Structure 1
Amino acid sequence: MLPVAHLGLLGGFRLQYGGEAAEAAEVSTSGQRLLAYLGLRQRAARTVLAGTLWPDVTEDHALGSLRTTLWRLRQQRPSLVRSHQDTLALEDSVRVDVHDLCRCAQHAVQSEARADGRPDVASLLAGDLLPGWDEDWVVLERERLQQLRLHALETLAGHLIERGGYALALEAALECVRTDPLRESAHRAVVTVHLAERNLGDAVRHYQAFRRLLRRELGVEPSDRFRALMRRAPT
């Protein structure tokens, strides 16, 4: 049986076969781009892939670079990429961490996430997609995944509060704040956890810190909804 390959794109590019970490030098820059693109898009036509990864050369040159990159990848290990006619895709044996994140996030925002059982918060705490990569196809996907993760964490925090899981709820809410410090819904989630635990001092301190941040960065006040939450706080 071929070893399962693990392709990590969150927090940086990583490639592992089973438990054996591949050395960074084993995958060229072009190979990393190719695997990352297929990991995010599932599959792609050769011409589309070549034009995306080598946009500043002729089509013939780009297709030649694609063939060379594929050949080099196939020399190292059992195949990571399969082809069908003009389409390329990752082999089914390749597991991609982005897919795991998406599945976890989608589960978190569905009603069954309220059921008993420990939610997989850790899967939602992964790093940003391919930090330092500035290609358009990465930037767009990074924003999509960030928004999906933030919504999932906020929803999960709400579910955990209802079940009395305050420690994990606070962890989820604070991760949202770390990811997007100006996101009011994330700060409301943090304050809601504090209020649920009747930690009024922590709630007020967090609210006031966010209020100062908004004034300094945007020149605005927290929303009516946030102010109303504080007015309803137990005394």
Structure 2
Amino acid sequence: MTVRIYLTSRVRVENGDLLLDESALPGRQGRLVLAYLVAERTRPVSRDELGLELWGDEVPDAWEKGLMAIISKLRAALRSVGLPGDTLQTAFGCYQMMLPHDTWVDIEDAATAVHAAEVAIAADRPLDGYGWAYVAYHIGRRPFLLGEDGPWASRRRAALREVYLRALECAIVCDAANGDLAEAIQAAEDLIALEPVRESAYQRLMCALAETGNRAEAIKVYERCRRVLDEELGVPPSAQTRAVYESLILG
């Protein structure tokens, strides 16, 4: 039975019919430690590193004792869903989460999926990337560790946002290849709303609109792109964007 771990939306661990929800974890700090050790499971994490993430510059005098208590409660929580007692290991002042080799972690799956979608698109097989794009899209849009604003959580949140943006870009291509032009147009508009200076989104939006026969609207998108780039960055559209525009004018 594959262990499934979700670090987006509600943090939880599923092992078959057994569920460890974040409400059963030892508070906010227990939730953060579990997420940290799962996400960083390929390496040992020192006590000092965890302490800094938990308490920042206001590390209490008895922080090591407090961290040990959190770790002990986490071990008990993991045992409650059938994971071995040595899943969370301690050695030489470090902790490491040693999960079953086939454990599924949502943020890892999102990163793998968006890469697979991009590979399929680069190989001119966008329909093969359709499912991968939407796996990454649905995971990437979920909030990561709501309420945490420390450096590590912020970096992880930014990385997940980039996965989501890449997934949106893939979805535009895959939807268009599948004939779902309305979905492709919506995905492009969503991407532009999130990243107003991302020229590739404008390029794909122009192409999708042109495929619907709405060349006039596609040309307006170029003007929108030109205006935003000028106002935000003080630069003109790239040669690639101009080439799409010119193909619309000549077409």
Given the two structures, how large is their TM-score scaled by the length of structure 1? 0.76
Alignment deviations for residues 198-224 of structure 1 (CA, whole Å, 9 cap, x no partner): 321331333333344344444544334
> Aligned residue for 1:95?
104
Alignment-mate amino acid for residue 135 of structure 2: S
SS of match in other structure, 2:213: coil
Go from structure 1 to structure 2 and tell me whether the alpha carbon gap of 1:25 and 1:163 turns closer, same or farther (over 3 Å shift): closer
Alignment-mate amino acid for residue 56 of structure 1: D
> Aligned residue for 1:26?
24
> Which residues in structure 2 correspond to 1:5-44 (within 5 Å)?
5-9=4-8, 12-17=9-14, 25-27=23-25, 28-42=27-41, 43-44=43-44
CA distance in 1, matches of 2:104, 2:19: 14
Structure 2 residue 120 is the aligned partner of structure 1 residue 114: no
CA distance in 1, matches of 2:62, 2:36: 19
> Which residues in structure 2 correspond to 1:178-197 (within 5 Å)?
178-197=193-212
Check the 8 A contact 2:11/2:145 in 1, yes or no: no
CA distance in 2, matches of 1:142, 1:113: 30
Alignment-mate amino acid for residue 35 of structure 1: L
- Gaps of at least 5 residues in structure 1 are none
SS of match in other structure, 1:110: helix
> Aligned residue for 1:61?
62
CA distance in 2, matches of 1:231, 1:32: 53
> Which residues in structure 2 correspond to 1:49-198 (within 5 Å)?
49-56=50-57, 61-76=62-77, 77-78=80-81, 79=83, 81-83=87-89, 85=91, 86-89=94-97, 91-92=99-100, 95-111=104-120, 114=125, 116-117=127-128, 118-125=130-137, 126-155=141-170, 157-158=172-173, 161=176, 164=179, 166-198=181-213
SS of match in other structure, 1:134: coil
RMSD across aligned C-alpha pairs, in angstroms?
3.5
CA distance in 2, matches of 1:30, 1:207: 48
